[in-house]
Amino acid sequence: MKLPDFPWDALAPYGQRARSHPQGAIDLSQGTPVDPTPDFIQAELRASANSPSYPVTTGSKELRDSLTRYAREILGASGEFDVLPTIGSKEMVALLPFLLEAKRILIPKIAYPTYRVGGMLAKAEVIEVDIDPSGWPTNDIDLVWLNTPSNPTGRVHSENEMGAVLDWSRANGIVIASDECYLPFPDKKSGISILKLASGDNKNLIALHSLSKRSNLAGYRAAFAVGDSAIISKLLEIRKHMGMMVPLPVQRAMSIALSDEKHVIAQGELYRNRRARLSLALLENGFKIENSESGLYIWCTRGEEDWQSVAWFAERGIIVTPGNFYGQAGNRHIRIALTATDAKIDEAAARIGKAL
Ligand SMILES: Cc1ncc(COP(=O)(O)O)c(C=O)c1O
């Protein structure tokens, strides 16, 4: 099987160009958190270092309780559902079509590349769609991916749009996998979990959440799935055989991290400020910002080919991502990640600003 080339390799020459800037490069290409892991979470990881026994795939009772509480109180889930810790959410995105034996799946037209890769790994047919389900195929479709707020566009799907997808799923008995890992960081709009919209009927629904960005825990690999108990039980059964267990010290750190929203609100404020400062500089330099309503990214265009914009930024020592990494429909846009320190974002805004 030929998987897509790892797209970041194509960006390397532009990274090299940016690094030759006299003041060094500012990397706004990968959405990897740079703010510290909160101290109280680090302390819990350290205190849990003695861990001689195997963890269980389904998660410790403490973690399961904390995931269940989070699903109810923060995501708005109700009714009957189950939870499952995952080793970051990327592995689950990549494995879900395989674990569900999906043969035809729908993914967003402009999307996180792993939705497509997961379909390919399962040898499934992958079909790109817009958010409106009225024209979606239903024949033999096993799974549809939603992503709100979106990577890369920062688009937040409205309740009406999500509701239409939910109705479509219920009418056709098709599983919705809703990747909601950027939900903790609202900006101009707040997203809503598919589980809240479901009002207690969680059949065929699974939501994916991650602490990578929420709590600056990307290095811990801490995430979870919530939803239809029958689906979770199927995933669990196979994952037990595969040894897909979250390490116990990480489970403890996750429980503690999920018990606090203050650090998440503070982190969200940092991202909102960074977005505002960078947006201003972009608008002043002829970029049009689209969507970018929430989450971690600015999605913008100057009406030119994406690589041309990437080169323009590289000249200024800034690395950004071409939109074609997320689908051909993105090839006149670029994605700018807000994952750099305030000082670096200010420096980036100044370098963009100097262009006029
Ligand atoms: C939309 C989306 N889903 C899932 C992930 C995976 O995140 P993690 O594996 O760190 O939980 C990412 C990471 O960037 C993402 O953008």
pLDDT tens per residue, range 299-337: 999 999 999 999 999 999 999 999 999 999 999 999 999
Distance 356 CA to ligand 1 centre (A): 35
* Nearest CA owner, ligand 1 atom 1: 151
Of all residues in the chain, the percent with pLDDT exceeding 90 is: 96
CA of 181 to the centre of ligand 1 (A): 7
Output the CA 22–ligand 1 centroid distance in Å: 33
CB-ligand 1 contact for 111 (6 Å cutoff): no
> Model confidence at 8, in pLDDT bands (50, 70, 90)?
confident
Q: Is the pLDDT of residue 212 over 90?
A: yes
Residue of the CA atom closest to atom 5 of ligand 1: 90
pLDDT score, position 353: 87
Please give the model's pTM, rounded to 2 decimal places. 0.97
Please give the average per-residue pLDDT across 137-146, as a whole number: 95
**Fold of the CATH domain 39-259:** Aspartate Aminotransferase; domain 2 (3.40.640)
* 210 Cβ closer than 6 Å to some ligand 1 atom: yes
Pocket test of ligand 1: the residue of 107, 115, 208, 210 to mutate, having most ligand atoms within 8 Å of its CB, is 210
Q: Give pLDDT, residue 4.
A: 77
Residues 6+ apart with CB under 8 A from 321: 11, 29, 30, 152, 310, 334, 335, 336, 337
Average pLDDT over residues 71-97: 98
> 82 C-alpha to center of ligand 1: Å?
21
Across all residues in the chain, what is the average pLDDT? 96
Q: Is 324 in the pocket of ligand 1 (CB under 6 A)?
A: no
Tokens of 356: 């006029």
Q: Is the pLDDT of residue 150 over 90?
A: yes
**pLDDT, mean of residues 215-233:** 98
Per CATH, the architecture of 8-37+263-353 is what? Alpha-Beta Complex (3.90)
Domain boundaries, given as residue ranges, for the chain: 8-37+263-353, 39-259
Atom of ligand 1 lying closest to residue 90 CA: 9
Percent of the chain with pLDDT over 70: 99
Q: Which residues pair with 53 in a beta bridge?
A: none
**Closest CA relative to residue 318, chosen from 11, 9, 34, 111:** 11
At 134, is the pLDDT very low, low, confident or very high (cuts 50, 70, 90)?
A: very high
Q: Is 211 in the pocket of ligand 1 (CB under 6 A)?
A: no
Is the CB–ligand 1 distance for residue 107 below 6 Å? no
Closest protein CA for atom 6 of ligand 1? 90
pLDDT value at residue 354: 57
93 lines ligand 1 (CB under 6 A): yes
- Model confidence at 355: pLDDT above 50: no
Ligand 1: centre distance to CA 180 (Å): 9
User: Is 181 touching ligand 1 by the criterion CB < 6 Å?
Assistant: yes
* Calpha distance 179→161 (Å, rounded): 15
Nearest atom, ligand 1, residue 93 CA: 4
- One DSSP character per residue, 167-209 reads HHHHHHT-EEEEE-TTTT-BSSS----HHHHTTT--TTEEEEE
pLDDT of the residue at 356: 44
User: Of 333, 282, 318, 346, which Cα lies nearest the Cα of 27?
Assistant: 318
What is the distance, to the nearest Å, from the Cα of residue 157 to the centroid of all Cα atoms in its chain?
A: 14
Averaged pLDDT for residues 101-114:
97
